[in-house]
Amino acid sequence: MPELPEVEVVRRGLERWVAGRTVAEVQVHHPRAVRRHLEGAEHFVAALTGRTVAAAHRRGKYLWLPLAETDGTAAGRALVAHLGMSGQLLVEKPGEPDEVHLRARFRFTDGGRELRFVDQRTFGGLAVEDAPGDGVPPRVAHIAMDPLDPGFDVDAFSAALRRRHTEVKRALLDQTLIGGVGNIYADESLWRARLHGARPTDKLTRAQVADLLEGVRDVLGESLAQGGTSFDSLYVDVNGQSGYFSRHLAVYGQQDRPCPRCGTPVRRESFMNRSSYSCPQCQPRPRARR
């Protein structure tokens, strides 16, 4: 599933190619694409037609595009998107052939490139929702700020993490605590901080939390610079380009390969119906609590 860097790469593309343009036409090719819009596909189309996309925002793995009236005043609503496992928001020339799994199309009044929502597995979705007050749609409001956000509170995160009675990797994946970190970047961040994912959060020192947060920020920033992590053709930016951070992964997906730091073979362990990767030497498993 796309994580923070992959979704941020898409957001930047939407900011460049879509923000400031007015929607002329919306086509919904598959009802599951707008199943989160409870009023139905026709209402979804009507809510967007004639509206101007004011900007492109992200929190965690959610994207939202605030809408404005043609005179520039805020419409108080936003197009909210979640890519799911295979969703793509692509900017294409109008004459380009339709993608096999095209689910929705947005044409603009300037006649330029159109926005297409493509989703092979149809786990992603689109909806138009209210964006009150601070402009954050209710569907997104429960997600914590991510560590690259200027408003991220380091002290509050550190205190909240150390108050919890759970394993540190589970805490990193908790979107109400820290937004946007998924399985790949959790493993990479823990490796950088020399922490095993099963380490109890209430036993972490302030220094260990600081090292962990530094690792999270570094790995997310480096991945962003590489366009994210693409393991197959499903994870692409708005122009269909893959990211290259997979070439720089230290432990994730590297079972039995040497740890880049000490040379010990990387181990794979089962974790919440997924996999965790770590170095047995650099990240020793903590002793079981009595």
Element (H, E) at 161: helix 154-163
2, 5, 66, 147: which one is catalytic?
2
16, 206, 274, 285: which one is catalytic?
274
The tokens of 21 are what?
Answer: 């343009």
Contact between 251 and 187 under an 8 Å Cβ cutoff? The reply is yes
Residue 17 DSSP class? H
Half-sphere exposure of 125 (CA within 13 A, CB side): 15
By residue count, the chain amounts to 290
Q: How many CB atoms lie within 10 A of CB 69?
A: 14
- Between the alpha carbon of residue 116 and those of residues 29, 89, 101, 107, 164, the distances in Å are 11, 6, 10, 9, 42
The verdict on whether 61 is a catalytic residue reads: yes
In sequence order, the 6+-apart residues with CB closer than 8 A to the CB of 185 are 3, 4, 5, 216, 219, 220, 223
3, 92, 114, 129: which one is catalytic?
3
Grouping H, G, I as helix, E, B as strand and the rest as coil, residue 212 is helix
Q: How many CB atoms lie within 10 A of CB 195?
A: 23
51, 59, 61, 105: which one is catalytic?
61
The verdict on whether 3 is a catalytic residue reads: yes
Q: Which residue's entry shows tokens 């990240």? A: 283
Q: How many CB atoms lie within 10 A of CB 14?
A: 23
- Between the alpha carbon of residue 81 and those of residues 58, 64, 189, the distances in Å are 9, 6, 27
Hey, which residues are catalytic here?
2-3, 61, 274
